[in-house]
Structure 1
């Protein structure tokens, strides 16, 4: 075992006792973060407007500061984009994460301060590896390279003193030299702008390297791996990377892809999978126990103060917001954050559900604007992921991508849900797939079941199987290849459905 591997493992493991202390006293840790943020916020225009000087308690904060959407904060963010200082955060902002815009048609520019880089994103990356090593003490991950799949950077069109780009690109650009040494590809390649050219170059480079880990969105990881296999002529990627150990994944629910990766991509029980919850707004959670699939430990000492709003009140400016000590198991909450990047009571757009308390582990259950509720059925992304996973298990199917939306009532016909699905391996029985999907949704969602009763409101789902490459071509057409861009799973309109189906008809 190399000296570098041994040394890095030892250094990372020194963090574990502090993580364990955080798990035991979440409220104390969050109170400390809250006080630090308020002290910093007092030196900003936002803090002066909302009288941060008078804020002594969390209750004061919740009374004086409204919950904000991106649109609410944008007038302030725009000023920061144009180079103004001390608007939302006291230190200068040199980076902006350009989000994929999954909750709005336009992109979002999230400020990334040096504090949020150091105390959130970098700390989260180190903790991710520390927890992986705690689960696998014999790891040799640092004897090879970590493959990172990220986005690109561009000059800020509003100011020459800063840059914008995918959060992964911002993080990679600012990594210390030791971290750059153990990752691949080189920074100039990793930050290439044109996505398809970058993938080809990444495949060329990594096909000859000792890749031991991968970090990225599973769907884009699969695209890269296919290119490496095409270049090398190998049947699976372990023939190219025989020492591969772990895939760190996030941004989309991995469960529908798990069988594909375990059976075809990395056909070995020795390969492990670790989920992370990293967003433009901050690094939120990490899977600390690899046996607890889909559950992640909420990281409470990253300069982020968390609030959780019951989903029924998510659109209120002053909702009843719960702290970490007040949340309950198995309830869906809209996630609200105040961060060392200058976001204050900001609606991330995700919903989460706690699966354990002390330690506080959660699952991302969906998006506040990604659901189907055209008929009062309230189907969320978590419902859809569970149903499609069960349908795949029942029929031997493996999916590549999917999206779903409503078919509205009209001309005497009841409504239904329409799904567009791209398979890597099609079901051995299409009818059974559709039946299992529908029955699972009925079992886990009583509102959907009520609307499906005797087909009174909703008929059985309508499913379209589209050719391989459909979703890739659609994302390319929308200018959303690579980085954190991902296929929207559900919509309460036909915007995505009609666009994709129209593209297929053109073919």
Structure 2
């Protein structure tokens, strides 16, 4: 084992004791964090508005401060993006993490304070390595380099002083990494932050093929495209012929199960480790802490105070959130966060299920809305309905029902979306309808547009027109007829699409 590897492995292991402390005393850690957040933000405009200075208990906080969606918080964020300070958080906000949009916005811009960078995102990255090293004490991770597939950033044009920036959270983190972390990563920062994904993948493929890459980090979608391109350029059968010491892939953002077999074909190594993280624009929330597990440890000392809303209460006009100590195992909750970047009682849109409460471990169970996010495209129901409406208008079509699902990546094939639509009035041209649907989604959703660019991660969608009555018969078959049951518009697996296509084929054969 090399000297650098030995030193860094020893350093990373030192954090484990602190992690064990918050695992043992989770409520004390969260209570102390809550008080610190309230105290530090009491003189911000948000803190003055809601009287933070005399909030002493969580119950007061819950009663006084409403739960915020992005739309509700956006007026404060917009002021920050225009250069105003001390709005949501007292320290200067120089960075905004950009992610896919909501009903009224093509993109979301999440404030990232210096405290959030250091106490959450950087700390999460170090803890990920610490936990991994603790599980694999003989690792040779630091004998080579880590390859991170990230996004890009740009100057915030909303700020007339041009002193702030926005971009993918991966790019924000990468740009601000300390020198020692830059030293053990590849490719060059200039390449890693390129905006044109087609050129970036190509340049990364050439630049990293000669490195001793021991670990990968990123979204499976982009990582697998890079691996495939390197294998192709180097005329190899798999990536181990290029990087023989590759031992780990740290992944997150989208479900990994659909990609596992593809990765295993590209990395034919029984000892390859796949390690899950829960890192979002809003914060770093969870890390897998055990071998061969699908659970993640909820990280409690990252400047994030957690609350949870039972999913079955989300439709209530005023759903009641509960603190960490009241959650139950095997129950779905929407996650609400208050952070050291000024996101107050913010509903991030994810749902989680606790698999353990001593310590607190979670699995991501879904979203609070129907969505497709197989490739990081984050297409929500509002996106789909807006695109469908425009396609119908421009092709004189009328629809009755629709659903859509991802087409997952396979070796040698790109991913995509597959739509099943029941028309009451057929479009003038199904090809034109499909083209408008695709173009509209690209205009509405910046993450979908990025994945569709040059067919790099997503090819054009495939649309099936099915006979009238198809969705009625399908719902009837499932015992789901009635006003309380709705056709799932978007689904992140292929279960519903496959079932409908099979039923349609069986009808045609009769």
Aligned to 1:312: 312
CA distance in 2, matches of 1:52, 1:285: 28
1:282 lines up with 2:290 in the alignment: no
Paired residue secondary structure (1:100): strand
Q: How does 1:154-303 map to 2 (within 5 A)?
A: 154-159=154-159, 160-262=162-264, 264-292=265-293, 294-303=294-303
The answer as to whether partners of 2:102 and 2:108 remain within 8 angstroms in 1 is no
- Alpha-carbon displacement from aligned partner over 1:218-275 (angstroms, at most 9, x marks no partner): 111111111101110001101110000100000011112222222x021111110100
In the TM superposition, residue 420 of structure 1 has moved relative to its aligned partner by: 5.2
Q: How does 1:7-406 map to 2 (within 5 A)?
A: 7-101=7-101, 106-159=106-159, 160-262=162-264, 264-292=265-293, 294-314=294-314, 318-370=318-370
Q: Show structure 1 runs of 5+ residues with no match.
A: 372-380, 386-398, 427-470, 498-507
In the TM superposition, residue 402 of structure 1 has moved relative to its aligned partner by: 12
Aligned to 1:421: 407
CA distance in 2, matches of 1:495, 1:134: 37
- Alpha-carbon displacement from aligned partner over 1:309-334 (angstroms, at most 9, x marks no partner): 01123355742211111100111111
1:481 lines up with 2:451 in the alignment: yes
In the TM superposition, residue 101 of structure 1 has moved relative to its aligned partner by: 2.6
- Alpha-carbon displacement from aligned partner over 1:61-103 (angstroms, at most 9, x marks no partner): 0000000000001110000001111000000000000112377
In the TM superposition, residue 161 of structure 1 has moved relative to its aligned partner by: 1.1
The answer as to whether partners of 1:220 and 1:482 remain within 8 angstroms in 2 is no
CA distance in 2, matches of 1:323, 1:496: 29
- Alpha-carbon displacement from aligned partner over 1:280-314 (angstroms, at most 9, x marks no partner): 1110000000221x210000000000000011233
Paired residue secondary structure (1:111): strand
Q: Show structure 2 runs of 5+ residues with no match.
A: 389-398, 413-437, 462-486, 494-510
Query: Residue 307 and residue 146 in structure 1: after superposition, are their counterparts in 2 closer, same or farther (change >3 A)?
Result: same
Query: Residue 403 and residue 45 in structure 1: after superposition, are their counterparts in 2 closer, same or farther (change >3 A)?
Result: closer
Paired residue secondary structure (1:59): helix
CA distance in 1, matches of 2:158, 2:377: 36
The answer as to whether partners of 2:253 and 2:376 remain within 8 angstroms in 1 is no
The answer as to whether partners of 2:369 and 2:380 remain within 8 angstroms in 1 is no
Query: Residue 35 and residue 291 in structure 1: after superposition, are their counterparts in 2 closer, same or farther (change >3 A)?
Result: same
Query: Residue 189 and residue 317 in structure 1: after superposition, are their counterparts in 2 closer, same or farther (change >3 A)?
Result: farther
Aligned to 2:3: 3
Q: How many residues are treated as equivalent by the alignment?
A: 420
CA distance in 2, matches of 1:66, 1:479: 33
- Alpha-carbon displacement from aligned partner over 1:105-140 (angstroms, at most 9, x marks no partner): 510000000000000000000000000001100000
Query: Residue 8 and residue 420 in structure 1: after superposition, are their counterparts in 2 closer, same or farther (change >3 A)?
Result: closer
The answer as to whether partners of 1:349 and 1:369 remain within 8 angstroms in 2 is yes
CA distance in 2, matches of 1:404, 1:154: 25
The answer as to whether partners of 2:405 and 2:492 remain within 8 angstroms in 1 is no
